[in-house]
């Protein structure tokens, strides 16, 4: 029977140190079985309680999964311009394709929808663990601002170098909501519940039973999301370790045939280490390994999958962890499972 390695346990212990309100959930899938463990600064806790975490940018993989479903059903094409689904945009301008948006090669900058000053302030707050902004949601835009940003940030018809874009994935979500006729929020909640069967995964934080905490152990509450916030497709989902491992299993077994489109290489990714699927980061030396991390104001998350070995790891924390601690734990655990 698999046991978490001493190396991974050392990383867990180091991450928990000094975080008195931390609930660090670590889970894994192997031999078709899931195991969930919960830790705090005093060690392992009773794992029977189910905690709901803000999973941040792992949301992007769900948005890409719905995109792949609509491609599979011929409701849209990856080569469609996003302009096709936003009729109010000027017709004589170029706007990126869904494929470029899904692979972070659209040309939209990382700081959008914030300006450079706002983005720097957000980045600084995340580093310092400030609590004021964490009780709000800085990524909050309506249709008018989305349209203004698209028309202001003019792009050329080309594959740009990889640049992570919350804004780009949000545009995909908006387009999916137009195609469904119900808007992204209702469409995604229906997809999560009725298509993927994830009963504890949903948009927003209103049903969460866990607050986030800052670097100084200050209570940050939860980010506020709603249907009107068009950035939701980039980071608004809350979930549990159980549901994320169930989601991993669905991807591994390709229970939904359209998901294979997400797993295929569609472009180059961050640095020389990764390729890009749709939404997912693929390990360049082995595209069967798919990863994504996430973070909101005071939450951190990681999900890693090896389709070939049929194993997965998940790490969830109600703190904004430093130095990619969640990713280090998740990758260490995944590598142990791959042996």
Continuous segment of H or E residues that includes residue 220: strand 219-221
C-beta of residue 163 within 8 angstroms of C-beta of residue 268: no
Residue 324 CA from chain centroid, whole number: 15
Whole-angstrom Cα distance, residue 32 to residue 55? Answer: 23
The residues spanned by each domain of the chain are: 6-338
Residue 56 in 3-state DSSP? helix
Decide if 247 contacts 29 (C-beta within 8 A). no
> Taken in order 55, 27, 129, 20, is the CA torsion positive or negative?
positive
| pLDDT for position 131 | 47
Q: What is the pTM of this model?
A: 0.95
List pLDDT tens digits, range 191-242.
Answer: 999 999 999 999 999 999 999 998 889 998 999 999 999 999 999 999 999 9
Model confidence over 109-137: pLDDT tens digits?
998 888 777 766 766 665 555 444 455 67
Distance between CA atoms of residues 335 and 50, nearest Å: 26
Report which secondary-structure segment, H or E, holds 289: strand 286-295
Alpha carbon distances (Å) from 41 to 8, 54, 130, 321: 15, 21, 22, 14
Which helix (H) or strand (E) is 284 found in, with range? none
**Stretch 68-82: mean pLDDT:** 98
Cβ atoms 237, 203 nearer than 8 A: yes
Rg value, the chain, Cα:
19
160 secondary structure, DSSP code: P
Look up residue 85 and give its DSSP letter: G
Nearest alpha-carbon partner for 173 in 188, 191, 155, 163 = 188
Q: What percent of the chain has pLDDT over 70?
A: 95
Q: Which of 206, 200, 204 is nearest to 243 (CA)?
A: 200
Determine the pLDDT at residue 271.
Answer: 84
Summarize pLDDT for 5-23 with one digit per residue, the tens.
Answer: 999 999 999 999 999 999 9
Name the fold adopted by 6-338.
Answer: Beta-lactamase (3.40.710)
């Amino acid at each position: 029977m698999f046991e978490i390695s001493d190396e991974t346990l050392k990383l867990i212990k180091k991450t928990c140190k000094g975080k008195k309100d931390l609930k660090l959930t670590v889970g894994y899938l192997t031999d078709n079985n899931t195991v969930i463990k919960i830790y705090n600064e005093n060690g392992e806790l009773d794992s029977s309680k189910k905690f709901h975490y803000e999973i941040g940018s792992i949301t992007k993989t769900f948005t890409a999964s719905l995109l792949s479903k609509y491609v599979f059903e011929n409701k849209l094409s990856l080569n469609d311009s996003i302009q096709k689904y936003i009729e109010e945009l000027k017709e004589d301008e170029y706007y990126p394709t869904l494929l470029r948006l899904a692979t972070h090669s659209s040309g939209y900058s990382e700081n959008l929808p914030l300006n450079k000053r706002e983005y720097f302030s957000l980045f600084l707050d995340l580093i310092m663990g400030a609590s004021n902004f964490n009780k709000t949601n800085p990524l909050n835009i309506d249709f008018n601002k989305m349209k203004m940003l698209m028309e202001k940030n003019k792009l050329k018809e080309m594959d740009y170098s990889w640049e992570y874009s919350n804004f780009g994935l949000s545009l995909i979500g908006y387009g999916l909501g137009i195609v469904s006729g119900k808007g992204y929020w209702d469409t995604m909640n229906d997809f999560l519940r009725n298509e993927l069967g994830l009963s504890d995964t949903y948009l927003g934080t209103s049903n969460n039973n866990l607050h986030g905490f800052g670097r100084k152990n200050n209570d940050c509450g939860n980010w506020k999301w709603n249907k009107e916030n068009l950035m939701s497709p980039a980071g608004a989902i809350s979930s549990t370790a159980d549901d994320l491992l169930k989601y991993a299993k669905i991807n591994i077994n390709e229970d939904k045939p359209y998901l294979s489109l997400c797993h295929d290489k569609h472009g180059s990714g961050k640095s020389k280490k990764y390729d890009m699927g749709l939404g997912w980061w693929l390990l360049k030396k082995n595209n069967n390994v798919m990863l994504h991390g996430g973070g909101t104001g005071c939450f951190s998350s990681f999900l890693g999958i090896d389709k070939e070995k049929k194993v997965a790891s998940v790490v969830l924390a109600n703190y904004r962890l430093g130095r990619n601690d969640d990713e280090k734990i998740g990758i260490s655990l995944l590598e142990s499972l791959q042996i």
